[in-house]
Amino acid sequence: MIGAMRLRNPLFAPADSERKMAKALAGPADAVILDLEDSVAEARKAAAREALRAMLPGVGRAGVIVRVNPAGSAHHLADLAAVVPGAPDAIMLPKCAGGAELAVLDRQLGALEAAAGLAEGGIKVLPIATETAAAVLALGTLVGAKRLVGLCFGAEDLAADLATSPRLPGGAYPAATVTARGLLLLAAAACGVPALDTPWPDPRDPEGLRREALAAAADGFAGKLCIHPDQVAPVAEVFTPDAARLDWARRVVAGFAANPGAGVFALDGKMIDRPHLRLAERLLALE
């Protein structure tokens, strides 16, 4: 979550399509990622950037994220300069190479916030942190990064870097991708932020989406990136705890509130300790 914003089902919308952006922003997704990177052709990037410069100040909804082009690319700084004055909730940084890159981005955002008269640190950062093998090996350097509100697992670009398929027949991941996925979950936990799963690439396959989302939730992901409006509702359903789970979480929180000095207490015949409290608080944040 970013403040009061959930991150169960962020929906991508290309910044060179006013119609698709308007539909996404008016829809039920927890957050909308206005994309200047992969979904915008090179010849249209400048126009898309100017469209966002004009649009962002009047968006009027929470949960607005802008995916800029990667650090070091010809468009990166121009993207930041165009969108920061519009005060999006967060910047999505693709192909994030590690903590040093996030430190540079923090300084860039700070300078642009000051120039725009915005409070320093108000714009957060949501990196896609596994799009290259080198980035996977640098995940530990993200711990302690400023502005960080989540880590995103990206399977498609990683597969290209590994010269393999993103998924094997049947939907399983190749071995190196499985390793990267697990390391991303560990890094997110170490950073104290939610992990978001890679998009399901086929909007025409709702069963595949649900299967992968359920597996992601079981593994500890807090949400899943969406590439089509039809994916938003099913993903939200998977990543919203059911009534019984929420009831358990409320009773855990209430039990510790009633016994603030206790390290453990019994609930429904089972011992509940402080790790259960942290889990309960995480579940309630997804309510």
The answer as to whether 26 is a domain residue is yes
Element (H, E) at 202: none
Quickly list H helices, 203-263. 206-219, 232-238, 243-258
Q: Is the pLDDT of residue 37 over 80?
A: yes
Calculate helix-pair angle for 274-285, 243-258, nearest 10 degrees.
130
pLDDT in tens, 209-218: 999 999 999 9
Judge if 122 and 135 occupy the same domain: yes
Q: Is the pLDDT of residue 64 over 50?
A: yes
Q: Which pLDDT does position 274 carry in this prediction? A: 82
Q: Is the pLDDT of residue 285 over 80?
A: no
Q: Which pLDDT does position 74 carry in this prediction? A: 96
Judge if 130 and 249 occupy the same domain: no
Which residue has better confidence, 247 or 190? 190
Judge if 199 and 173 occupy the same domain: yes
The answer as to whether 93 is a domain residue is yes
pLDDT in tens, 225-237: 999 999 999 999 9
The answer as to whether 2 is a domain residue is no
Instruction: pLDDT band for 284, please (50, 70, 90 cuts).
Output: confident
- Rounded mean pLDDT of 52-76? 95
The answer as to whether 1 is a domain residue is no
Which of 203, 224, 240 is the C-terminal boundary of a domain? Answer: 240
Q: How do the residues of the chain divide into helix, strand and coil, expressed in percent and rounded to 5? A: 50, 15, 35
Residues 185, 181: Cα–Cα separation, whole Å? 6
Q: Amino acid identity of 105? A: L
The answer as to whether 6 is a domain residue is no
Judge if 138 and 204 occupy the same domain: yes
Judge if 159 and 275 occupy the same domain: no
Q: What is the CATH number for 190? A: 3.20.20.60
Pair 48, 40: CB distance under 8 Å: yes
Q: Is the pLDDT of residue 143 over 90?
A: yes
Residues 252, 272: Cα–Cα separation, whole Å? 8
The answer as to whether 40 is a domain residue is yes
Pair 136, 130: CB distance under 8 Å: yes
Pair 150, 191: CB distance under 8 Å: no
Instruction: pLDDT band for 283, please (50, 70, 90 cuts).
Output: confident
Judge if 80 and 134 occupy the same domain: yes
Judge if 202 and 70 occupy the same domain: yes
Q: Which pLDDT does position 210 carry in this prediction? A: 97
Q: Which domain holds residue 89?
A: 11-240
> 66 has which bridge partners?
34, 91
Q: Which pLDDT does position 258 carry in this prediction? A: 87
Highest mean pLDDT range out of 56-60, 187-191, 240-244?
187-191
Q: Is the pLDDT of residue 110 over 80?
A: yes
Judge if 74 and 50 occupy the same domain: yes
Looking at the structure of the chain, the number of domains it has is 2
Judge if 226 and 116 occupy the same domain: yes
The answer as to whether 3 is a domain residue is no
Least confident of 48-52, 63-67, 107-111, 258-262: 258-262
Q: Which pLDDT does position 2 carry in this prediction? A: 46
Pair 55, 22: CB distance under 8 Å: no
- Rounded mean pLDDT of 248-268? 87
Q: Which pLDDT does position 3 carry in this prediction? A: 44
The answer as to whether 193 is a domain residue is yes
Residues 197, 45: Cα–Cα separation, whole Å? 26
Judge if 99 and 206 occupy the same domain: yes
- The first and second tokens of residue 55, run together, are 């649009």
Judge if 194 and 165 occupy the same domain: yes
Q: Is the pLDDT of residue 159 over 90?
A: yes
- Rounded mean pLDDT of 80-88? 98
Q: Which pLDDT does position 279 carry in this prediction? A: 81
Q: Which pLDDT does position 5 carry in this prediction? A: 63
Least confident of 112-121, 132-141, 228-237, 275-284: 275-284
Judge if 160 and 198 occupy the same domain: yes
Q: What is the mean pLDDT of the chain?
A: 94
